[in-house]
Amino acid sequence: MSRLIEKIKAKASADIKRIVLPEGDEKRTVQAAAILKKEGLAEPVLIGVPSAVNETAASVGADITGIEIIDPAASDKASSYADTLYELRKAKGVTPEDAVKLVADPMYFGIMMIKCGDADGLVSGAVHTTGDMLRPALQIIKTKPEMKVVSSSFLMDCPNPDLGEDGLLVYADCVVMPCPTAEELAYIAVATADTAKRLCGFTEPRVAMLSFSTKGSAKHDLVSKVQEAVAKAHELAPDLLLDGEMQFDAALVPEIGQSKAPGSPVAGRANILVFPDLQAGNIGYKITQRIGGAECFAVLQGLNAPCNDLSRGCSVEDIVNTVAMTAVQAQDS
């Protein structure tokens, strides 16, 4: 098991949080719920029709004794959730009838449980796409008041201990914002430093704002955008060690960092890498994972309560790990 996940699991079990799994009748999800309960990592709540959930559990040999199963169609909370959802979304054209229908959807039901204080966090995506999972969270849970956007952090546990923090690097944004503005990029950087502190225990986050240019070596509108993001991030978090724009190698390799960005507090020793857009971030994390041999663990950041996405190809272990990370985020939120 990754050292990072070991630490996260220990933290999760020290203060158990109630985490909703809307895909409650999905095989891997049911198996993960059984492990989470047995290992005391979280209190999982499965959304689904009890007979279907129990049938799935029996088919995979998962012991889900003592795990709560909630069927939105039979829940006595459904009508108050629909009323609250209507109030929250009426300005966006949602009618009372729409709200009733939406709450019957396990994803919206799970999100409403969090909104109404009946759960601490949510993990989904073994069946649903990222967009299906994200949209209700963005619409209802919303961003934290001090944060402008929701984004993601990828915790990259690399085999080379010389990189980042003893081999641990945090990448952003690799999932959410296709084309962030300079200001949004600055908020992503600040949110990622916070995630790195909370989940990875970084005592000194050092953020490199990545580009194809280092400190003005190239001139282009794309480079100017990253430079603007650096200035904005300094305004948002004056004490954060953050620098850029810089190339990937200047961020990570001490000799290259010193020669291309002399005097930078970050160059050559970054432990957080902020990519300029989603194409770069998503490709970058996959290269690090597939060619670099890193294990990676993803979380969303900036939401008012933690909701996390899975990949549809996820394993039971991936779900357990993501729930443990969600539980730790819930402890701190």
Q: What does the binding site for ligand ACO look like in residue numbers (CB under 6 A)?
A: 92, 130-131, 134-135, 138-139, 143, 149-150, 175-178, 282, 311
Nearer to ligand ACO, 176 or 229 (CB): 176
The tokens for 256 are 């290259």
- Supply the DSSP symbol for 104: T
CB neighbour class for 131 (10 Å; exposed up to 12, middle 13-18, buried from 19): exposed
Which is nearest to 195 in space by CA: 8, 2, 41? 8
Q: How many Å apart are CA 260 and CA 246, to the nearest integer?
A: 9
Q: How many Å apart are CA 240 and CA 272, to the nearest integer?
A: 12
Beta carbon of residue 107, minimum distance to ligand ACO (angstroms, whole number): 13
Beta carbon of residue 101, minimum distance to ligand ACO (angstroms, whole number): 17
Q: How many Å apart are CA 161 and CA 152, to the nearest integer?
A: 24
Q: Which H or E element spans position 328?
A: helix 316-332
Q: Which H or E element spans position 309?
A: strand 307-309
Q: Name the 3-class secondary structure at 142.
A: coil
Beta carbon of residue 73, minimum distance to ligand ACO (angstroms, whole number): 26
Beta carbon of residue 229, minimum distance to ligand ACO (angstroms, whole number): 15
Q: Name the 3-class secondary structure at 127.
A: coil
Nearer to ligand ACO, 18 or 135 (CB): 135
Q: Residue with the closest Cβ to ligand ACO?
A: 138
The tokens for 31 are 């198996």
Beta carbon of residue 274, minimum distance to ligand ACO (angstroms, whole number): 15
Beta carbon of residue 131, minimum distance to ligand ACO (angstroms, whole number): 4
- Cα 65–chain centre separation: 29
Nearer to ligand ACO, 248 or 285 (CB): 285
What single-letter amino acid sits at 235? E
Nearer to ligand ACO, 16 or 236 (CB): 236
Nearer to ligand ACO, 54 or 139 (CB): 139
What's the distance, Cα to Cα, between the start and end of the chain in Å? 26
Beta carbon of residue 207, minimum distance to ligand ACO (angstroms, whole number): 19
Nearer to ligand ACO, 153 or 213 (CB): 153
The residues near 23 (Cβ < 8 Å, ≥ 6 apart) are: 29, 47, 48, 106, 124, 125, 126, 127, 128
- Supply the DSSP symbol for 138: I
Nearer to ligand ACO, 93 or 238 (CB): 93
The tokens for 141 are 């849970």
Q: Which H or E element spans position 215?
A: none
Q: Residue 126: what are its φ and ψ, rounded to 5°?
A: -70, -25
Nearer to ligand ACO, 137 or 253 (CB): 137
Beta carbon of residue 113, minimum distance to ligand ACO (angstroms, whole number): 19
Beta carbon of residue 160, minimum distance to ligand ACO (angstroms, whole number): 23
